[in-house]
Amino acid sequence: MTGEKWRPARNAAVLIAALLLFWQLLYAFAGEAAIKPPLATFRYTATLITTDAFWVHLSESMRAFAAALAIAVAAGLTIGFWLGFHKLSGEVCEPMLVALYSIPKITLYPILLLAFGLGMPAKIAFGAIHGIIPVALFTINAVRNVRPILIKTGRVHGLGATEMARIILFPAALPEIFTGLRVGFSLTLIGTLLGEMFAAQRGLGYLLMTAIGLHNVDLIMAVTLLLFVFAAAASGTLLAVDRRLHART
């Protein structure tokens, strides 16, 4: 069954080739002033990542993202476990979370800026509010779908709320929770970058905005490419782990 085994890799290769071809065609259509061809972008990206300034922006973005993700995961899991386990609270709050999930969170950005001021805390908060709700919603469903017998066993042993979450609920609900973490990861990344695009003095989002201001097409293309590759690689890896976790049960 080697043919089956290699199919995902082959599909990915075909997809990447098709995307590059599309990019090249778009270049032929839109012209030098609008976009750069793939090869030129790769070359520019290669020189960009050797500059010190780039690493300053990158590390700033990564620090904001890490903090936002930590907050989103911690708060999301707490809310999720509570609402999933406590039936009444869950029924009361879940539709509100769904409604919050569907609003354009970008519009809340000025409020966060007024509350936190310009800079790191606002970025972190903006990333976190994107990630908290999906993590919470997936966790709620995961906890609800835990087989009742497992919870009864925990009760029989007289476990407290934290022990119940740690020993019984978390391991049983792990695959589904991981799906929530995967979605939360992507959304937190998007949120953090958006935050940087609107108001920051450092970070990849800021770099992108300055590039737009200066109409530096090389830089726009390079940063977009880097973000795309990073997001696709991270989410591809998480997706693979996710599938493995789900296959195990």
Partner 1 sequence: MTRVTVYRVLVIAAAVLLLEGLCLAGIIDRLTMPPPHRILRDLAVILASGSQNAAIVKTLTNASIALALALVAGITSAVVLHGYRPVRETLEPLFATYYAVPIFAFYPLLIVIMGLGDAPQIAIGFMLGVVAVIVNTLNGLDRVPRVLRKSARIGRLNAIETALIVTLPHAAPYVLTGAKLAVAYSFIGVIGAEFIMSRGGMGYEISFAYTNFDNATMYPLILLILLVSIALNAALSRWEKALLKRRGQ
Q: Least distance from C-beta 149 to partner 1, angstroms?
A: 26
The residue length of the chain stands at 249
- CA–CA distance from 116 to each of 20, 34, 221 (Å)? 41, 36, 31
Among 15, 21, 49, 74, binds partner 1 (CB under 8 A): 15
Going from the C-alpha of 227 to that of each of 111, 177, 184, the distances in angstroms are 27, 25, 17
By the rule CB under 8 A, 132 interacts with partner 1: no
Q: Binding string to partner 1 for residues 60 to 89, with x set by CB under 8 A, is what?
A: ----------------------------x-
Instruction: Give every CB contact of residue 60 below 8 A, 6+ residues apart in sequence.
Output: 202, 203
Local structure of 40: helix, strand or coil: helix
Smaller CB distance to partner 1: residue 13 or 155?
13
Kindly give the residue spans of alpha helices, DSSP state H, lying in the chain. Answer: 2-30, 38-48, 52-85, 87-102, 109-116, 120-144, 148-156, 161-163, 170-198, 204-214, 217-248
Give how far the C-alpha of residue 24 lies from the chain's centroid of Cα atoms, to the nearest Å.
28
Among 111, 118, 161, 241, binds partner 1 (CB under 8 A): 111
Q: Which of residues 21-40 bind partner 1 (CB under 8 A)?
A: 30, 33-35
Q: Which is nearer to partner 1, 2 or 107 (CB)?
A: 107
Q: Does 102 bind partner 1 (CB under 8 A)?
A: yes
Contact pattern for partner 1 over residues 188 through 227, marking x by CB under 8 A: -xx--xx--xx---------xx-xx--x-x--xx-xx--x
Residue 99 as a binder of partner 1 (CB under 8 A): the answer is yes
Q: Give dist(CA 90, CA 141) in Å, integer.
A: 10
Please identify which residue in 68, 69, 72, 113 interacts with partner 1, judged by CB under 8 A: 113
Judged by CB under 8 A, does residue 231 bind partner 1? Answer: yes
Q: How far apart are CA 206 and CA 176, in angstroms?
A: 34
- Of 9 and 149, which CB lies nearer to partner 1 in the complex structure? 9
In terms of Cβ atoms closer than 10 Å to its own Cβ (0-12, 13-18, 19+), residue 110 is exposed
Tokens 């990333």, located at residue: 127
Q: Which is nearer to partner 1, 90 or 154 (CB)?
A: 90
**Binding-site ranges for partner 1 (CB under 8 A):** 7-8, 11-12, 14-15, 18-19, 30, 33-35, 88, 91-93, 95-96, 98-99, 102-111, 113-115, 183, 185-187, 189-190, 193-194, 197-198, 208-209, 211-212, 215, 217, 220-221, 223-224, 227-228, 231-232, 234-236, 239
